[in-house]
């Protein structure tokens, strides 16, 4: 063995023992044992360890071994925990507090003071006159201006008002008349709005006999539409677990003032009560709302 080799070997041994010493005292023995195969370069950085009694350069040890090995799997967990925390915080901040989804009472100001209390209440117009897709489609369309103009047509170019025009001079109807002339729709503000990742379908609900009232409240008494229910996931699932109390004959779904207590079940449906009606209908129409995730998150 040459002198150089000898000294290399010596200093390597020395280094190893220094590291081992520090390992036992500073770090943990099992961890050190696993690290001993690290190859040292006696002529390189390790020379800085110096002779036995000189102060040991802790930095090198600390740099290389800053995190003991047993931390590694924990780092994975930590990363997952942080990521989950971020998602949760995002959901709490971004989705859960979205005023358009979860705030019962949300009542945006509309461009025209359209009153459901007048049209659906007083005038007893059926919901389907205006929301005509509600039994066929996922969405219950908000009516186009043409629907309003059936009754509220504006004066023509000569200033002549059709005989049937209701409140033709009303300022409240100005945006409707404007929209009719320009062909640009009225910018109704959305009241109910689920997040995009939720699938909802009106037809599936109303055809099963769930009334607009169960989800929107007494729209026929509202001057301005407001959100009546929370529209949270828990709210959806509550009813999916037990829809029976919400079921009624399909023809009565848009009759919001209908009262199951005074209804003559025996004469009208042949059932003894609403409970019996619900049991029979659920069996006949196979109404079993699901609660697994893919039903609403597709
Ligand atoms: C004469 C037409 C008309 C009739 C009849 C009518 N609506 Fe509406 N509905 C509208 C218009 C226009 C809007 C949009 C403006 C607003 O929100 O008030 C609307 C909005 C709504 C909204 C809020 C939509 C949103 O933005 O989330 C609901 C819910 C609703 N109607 C339910 C009903 C129900 C239930 C009935 C039957 C009891 C009914 N409507 C009858 C015209 C009508
Ligand atoms: C079937 C006929 C009919 C249709 C369709 C209709 N309305 Fe009316 N609307 C009326 C009648 C009737 C009144 C008056 C009620 C009253 O004065 O007691 C009225 C009153 C109003 C008023 C109050 C006007 C005022 O100056 O007091 C507004 C605003 C209005 N309607 C908006 C609309 C809008 C918007 C639509 C379309 C979404 C619409 N209406 C569709 C019949 C209709
Ligand atoms: C099971 C609950 C439920 C029932 C029953 C229900 N709705 Fe809705 N409705 C909703 C929800 C939830 C939204 C929001 C949908 C979205 O954001 O995609 C909504 C939205 C609407 C809208 C806004 C346009 C749209 O489709 O997004 C109208 C108008 C409406 N509903 C009318 C009606 C009418 C009229 C009836 C009865 C014939 C009815 N709804 C029955 C829950 C219901
Ligand atoms: C008041 C009761 C009730 C509420 C509230 C309700 N549902 Fe339902 N849901 C039903 C019934 C009843 C059915 C029909 C099940 C059947 O036909 O087996 C249904 C069916 C469905 C379906 C299946 C539609 C299809 O295409 O087969 C979806 C999706 C759905 N609901 C989503 C929702 C969401 C999202 C909410 C909340 C925003 C909600 N529901 C709130 C009663 C309710
Ligand atoms: C009956 C319909 C329905 C079913 C079934 C359903 N969800 Fe949801 N989910 C919703 C609605 C509605 C929202 C939006 C509520 C909101 O705006 O906070 C939602 C929101 C969420 C969110 C967003 C976080 C939050 O709370 O706002 C997550 C995550 C989620 N659902 C996961 C699931 C999982 C996992 C399942 C199956 C165990 C499931 N959902 C089943 C209707 C449903």
Does the C-beta of 198 come closer than 6 Å to ligand 5?
A: yes
Cβ neighbours, 10 Å, residue 81: 11
What angle (nearest 5°) sits at the alpha carbon of residue 122, between those of residues 118 and 125? 85
Task: Give the pLDDT confidence of 249-267 residue by residue, as tens digits.
Answer: 999 999 999 999 999 999 9
Task: Give the pLDDT confidence of 37-93 residue by residue, as tens digits.
Answer: 333 444 444 433 444 444 444 434 444 445 556 666 676 676 666 666 555 555 544
Beta bridge partners of 247: 210
| Cβ-proximal residues to 251 (8 Å cutoff; 6+ apart), any chain | none
- Of all protein residues, the one whose alpha carbon is nearest to atom 40 of ligand 1 is 127
What's the token pair of residue 284? 């006949």
Q: Are residues 59 and 163 in the same domain?
A: no
Q: Are residues 134 and 274 in the same domain?
A: yes
Ligand 3 pocket, Cβ-based, cut-off 6 angstroms: 127, 131, 134, 139-140, 142, 192-194, 200, 202, 205-206, 210, 212, 214-216, 231, 253-254
Cβ neighbours, 10 Å, residue 293: 9
pLDDT above 80 (res 144):
yes
Q: Does residue 92 sit within a domain?
A: no
- Model confidence, pTM: 0.80
What's the token pair of residue 214? 């169960």
- Spatial distance between the Cα atoms of 199 and 168, rounded to a whole number of angstroms: 40
Q: Are residues 118 and 56 in the same domain?
A: no
DSSP codes, 188-255? PPP-----TT----HHHHHTTTB-HHHHH--GGG-SS----S---HHHHHHHHH--GGGB--GGGTT-
Does the C-beta of 278 come closer than 6 Å to ligand 4?
A: no
Among 138, 200, 225, 251, the mutation site with the greatest number of ligand 1 atoms within 8 A of its Cβ is 225
- Spatial distance between the Cα atoms of 137 and 264, rounded to a whole number of angstroms: 31
**235-256 exposure pattern, b = at least 16 Cβ within 10 A, e = fewer:** ebeebeeebeebbbbbeebbbb
- Of all protein residues, the one whose alpha carbon is nearest to atom 2 of ligand 2 is 151
Which structural domain range is residue 251 located in? 103-142+192-296
Q: Are residues 128 and 205 in the same domain?
A: yes
């Amino acid at each position: 063995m040459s002198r150089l080799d000898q000294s290399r070997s010596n200093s390597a041994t020395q280094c190893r023992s220094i590291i081992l010493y520090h390992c036992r005292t500073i770090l943990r023995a099992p961890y050190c044992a696993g690290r001993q195969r690290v190859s040292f370069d006696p002529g390189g950085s390790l020379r800085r360890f110096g002779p036995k009694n000189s102060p040991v350069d802790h930095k090198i040890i600390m740099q290389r071994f800053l995190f003991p090995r047993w931390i590694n799997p924990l780092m994975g967990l930590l990363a997952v925990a942080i990521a989950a925390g971020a998602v949760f915080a995002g959901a709490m901040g971004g989705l859960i507090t979205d005023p358009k989804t979860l705030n019962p009472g949300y009542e945006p100001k509309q461009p025209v003071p359209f009153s459901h209390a007048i049209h659906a209440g007083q005038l007893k117009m059926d919901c389907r006159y205006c929301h005509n897709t509600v039994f066929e489609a996922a969405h219950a369309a908000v009516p186009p201006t043409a629907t309003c103009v059936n009754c509220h047509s504006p004066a023509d170019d000569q200033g002549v008002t059709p005989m049937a025009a209701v409140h033709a001079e009303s300022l409240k109807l100005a945006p409707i008349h404007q929209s009719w002339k320009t062909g640009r729709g009225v910018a109704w503000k959305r009241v109910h709005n689920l997040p995009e990742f939720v699938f909802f379908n009106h037809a599936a609900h109303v055809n099963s006999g769930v009334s607009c009232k169960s989800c929107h409240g007494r729209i026929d008494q509202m001057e301005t539409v407001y959100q009546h229910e929370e529209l949270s996931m828990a709210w959806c699932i509550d009813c999916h677990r037990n829809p029976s109390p919400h079921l009624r004959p399909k023809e009565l779904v848009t009759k919001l003032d209908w009262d199951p207590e005074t209804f003559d079940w025996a004469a009208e449906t042949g059932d003894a009560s609403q409970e019996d009606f619900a049991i029979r209908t659920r069996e006949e129409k196979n109404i079993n709302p699901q609660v697994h995730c893919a039903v609403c998150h597709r």
